[in-house]
């Protein structure tokens, strides 16, 4: 299955980033390295995936044309008109150890092309069974062709009790005057690890809106790199991370403004409860000559437990003067006055907290760019906030 020898794979694993790399200062991949090594030692035979029921249950929550990739294998392909789906034979080797690892091991890499106005959202369910120690790779390329518009839902789920490390690479190209809407839902097992890299490039006057929700996962690291090399591009992306006991959720974003005028805005919000750690690192780079750039970053965090840690770093690198850039970051807790107000209205503390945490997340939910996914996202968040409220009750801060 591997395109490389075990020795070569081991060599790649040894080059995984460490906390000595500035970009990985807060996220330690040694557990992922460990799972990858153990998997290389054991190389368990992959059983045929038995996740049909799970897949059906999940895909029924959102009305979309679903492509299901179960344990790395493309299962169903119902492509709506204007959308083509192909397997990728020529996966680029990649420019980092994680990308090389992906390229060497990915089973069904897929390429989706969207042309014209596609009404029905394209759903992409990446489902891993994790019955035994395993590494899972996913490779997806999506091209929104000139003037096309379409919606993409990326849904990551894992089951099973065994250790698993998933490594995902998604490339989105939004061509000239195309409009792409994207939702990413990550609801993996609390014992599973994931690194994911999303690369977005934009053509002239292209528009990209995205919302990303991290609800599950044990250790999750998301990198989203957005490259604006054509004028008139408009980018707007949000992220919400809800972390409870034992979770480590890291979001790194990078926007390269190479030309102007173009705008980018991002807003990430996090709610942390229990022993957990979240990282948000937003980087906007305005290159020389990118005049007329308007870049805005916001990150807000609710820290609800003594054992939670947030590491936030909004970075701006600006190499020209005709720009408008700003960022704002806050770390705080629920407003005692608001809590008190709700309690005077007869809500108990937990219910009041739920109302307030829900409100904190609601702004992002209402902006989910794929209408069809909004209900499902809202329900998932509701469920997760309830889970988090239980910890709140045990650990009133």
Partner 1 sequence: MATETEQLESLVNRRYEHGFVTDIATESLPPGLDEDVVRAISARKNEPEWLLEWRLQAYRQWLEMEEPEWAHVHYPKIDYNAISYFAAPKSDEDRPKSLDEVDPKLLETYDKLGIPLHERARLAGVAVDAVFDSVSVATTFKEKLSEAGVIFCSFSEAVVEHPELVKKYLGSVVPRRDNFFAALNSAVFSDGSFVYIPKGVRCPMELSTYFRINAANTGQFERTLVVADEGSYVSYLEGCTAPMRDENQLHAAVVELVAMEDAEIKYSTVQNWYPGDEEGKGGIYNFVTKRGDCRGANSKISWTQVETGSAITWKYPSCLLRGANSVGEFYSVAVTNNLQQADTGTKMIHIGPNTSSTIVSKGISAGRAQQAYRGLVKVMPQAKGARNHTQCDSLLIGKDCGAHTFPYMEIRNPSAKVEHEATTSKISANQLFYCRQRGISEEDAVNMIVNGFCKEVFKELPMEFAVEAQALLNVSLEGAVG
Q: Which residues bind partner 1 (CB under 8 A)?
A: 22, 288-289, 291, 301, 303-333, 397
User: Which CB atom, from 26 or from 213, has the smaller least distance to partner 1?
Assistant: 26
User: Which CB atom, from 162 or from 331, has the smaller least distance to partner 1?
Assistant: 331
Tell me how many degrees the CA angle 64-148-127 measures, rounded to the nearest 5: 35
Tokens of 200: 């977005």
With contact defined as beta carbons under 8 Å apart, do 215 and 245 qualify? no
- Cα–Cα dist 3/106, whole Å: 9
In the complex, minimum distance from the CB of residue 316 to partner 1, in angstroms, rounded to a whole number: 4
Tokens of 306: 């003594």
User: What is the DSSP pairing of strand 73-77 with strand 65-70?
Assistant: antiparallel
In the complex, minimum distance from the CB of residue 253 to partner 1, in angstroms, rounded to a whole number: 15
User: Which CB atom, from 227 or from 291, has the smaller least distance to partner 1?
Assistant: 291
User: Which CB atom, from 140 or from 310, has the smaller least distance to partner 1?
Assistant: 310
User: Which CB atom, from 192 or from 252, has the smaller least distance to partner 1?
Assistant: 252
In the complex, minimum distance from the CB of residue 176 to partner 1, in angstroms, rounded to a whole number: 27
User: Which CB atom, from 296 or from 387, has the smaller least distance to partner 1?
Assistant: 296
CA distances from 7 to 81, 93, 173, 264 (A): 44, 17, 34, 43
- Cα–Cα dist 229/290, whole Å: 9
Q: Which residues pair with 262 in a beta bridge?
A: 293
- Count of Cβ atoms closer than 10 Å to residue 390 Cβ: 13
With contact defined as beta carbons under 8 Å apart, do 380 and 187 qualify? yes
User: Which CB atom, from 167 or from 273, has the smaller least distance to partner 1?
Assistant: 273
In the complex, minimum distance from the CB of residue 245 to partner 1, in angstroms, rounded to a whole number: 14
With contact defined as beta carbons under 8 Å apart, do 219 and 190 qualify? no
How many residues does this entry show for the chain?
397
In the complex, minimum distance from the CB of residue 382 to partner 1, in angstroms, rounded to a whole number: 23
Q: Which residues pair with 151 in a beta bridge?
A: 181
In the complex, minimum distance from the CB of residue 298 to partner 1, in angstroms, rounded to a whole number: 10
In the complex, minimum distance from the CB of residue 332 to partner 1, in angstroms, rounded to a whole number: 5
């Amino acid at each position: 299955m591997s395109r490389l020898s075990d020795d070569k794979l081991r060599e790649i694993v040894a080059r995984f980033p460490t906390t000595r790399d500035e970009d990985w200062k807060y996220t330690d991949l040694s557990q992922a390295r460990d799972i990858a090594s153990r998997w290389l030692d054991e190389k368990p035979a992959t059983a045929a995936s038995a996740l049909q029921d799970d897949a059906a249950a999940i895909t029924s929550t959102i009305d979309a044309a679903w492509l299901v990739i179960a344990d790395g294998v493309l299962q169903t392909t119902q492509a709506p008109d204007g959308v083509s789906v192909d397997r990728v034979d020529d996966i680029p080797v990649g420019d980092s150890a994680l990308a090389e690892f992906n390229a060497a091991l990915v089973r069904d890499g897929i390429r989706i092309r969207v042309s014209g106005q596609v009404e029905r959202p394209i759903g992409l369910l990446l489902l891993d069974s994790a019955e035994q120690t395993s590494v899972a790779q996913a490779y997806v390329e999506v091209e929104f062709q000139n003037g096309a518009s379409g919606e993409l839902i990326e849904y990551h789920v894992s089951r099973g009790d065994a250790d698993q490390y998933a490594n995902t690479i998604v490339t989105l190209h939004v061509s000239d005057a195309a409009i792409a809407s994207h939702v990413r839902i990550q609801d993996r097992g609390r014992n599973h690890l994931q690194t994911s890299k999303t690369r977005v490039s934009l053509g002239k006057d292209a528009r990209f809106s995205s919302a990303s929700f991290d609800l599950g996962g044990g250790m999750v690291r998301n990198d989203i790199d957005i490259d604006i090399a054509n004028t008139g591009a408009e980018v707007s992306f949000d992220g919400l991370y809800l972390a409870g006991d034992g979770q480590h959720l890291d979001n790194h974003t990078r926007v390269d403004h190479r030309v102007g005028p173009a705008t980018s805005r991002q807003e990430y919000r996090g709610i942390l409860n229990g022993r957990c750690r979240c990282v948000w690192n937003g980087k906007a780079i305005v290159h020389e000559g990118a005049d007329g750039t308007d870049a805005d970053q916001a990150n807000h965090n609710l820290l609800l437990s003594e054992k939670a840690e947030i590491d936030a770093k909004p970075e701006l690198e600006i190499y020209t003067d005709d720009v408008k850039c700003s960022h704002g970051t806050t770390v705080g807790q629920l407003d005692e006055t608001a809590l008190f107000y709700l309690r005077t209205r007869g809500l108990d503390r937990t219910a009041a907290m739920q109302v307030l945490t829900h409100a904190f997340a609601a702004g992002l939910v209402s902006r989910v760019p794929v209408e069809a996914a909004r209900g499902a996202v809202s329900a998932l968040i509701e469920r997760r906030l309830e889970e988090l409220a239980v910890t709140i009750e045990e650990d009133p801060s």
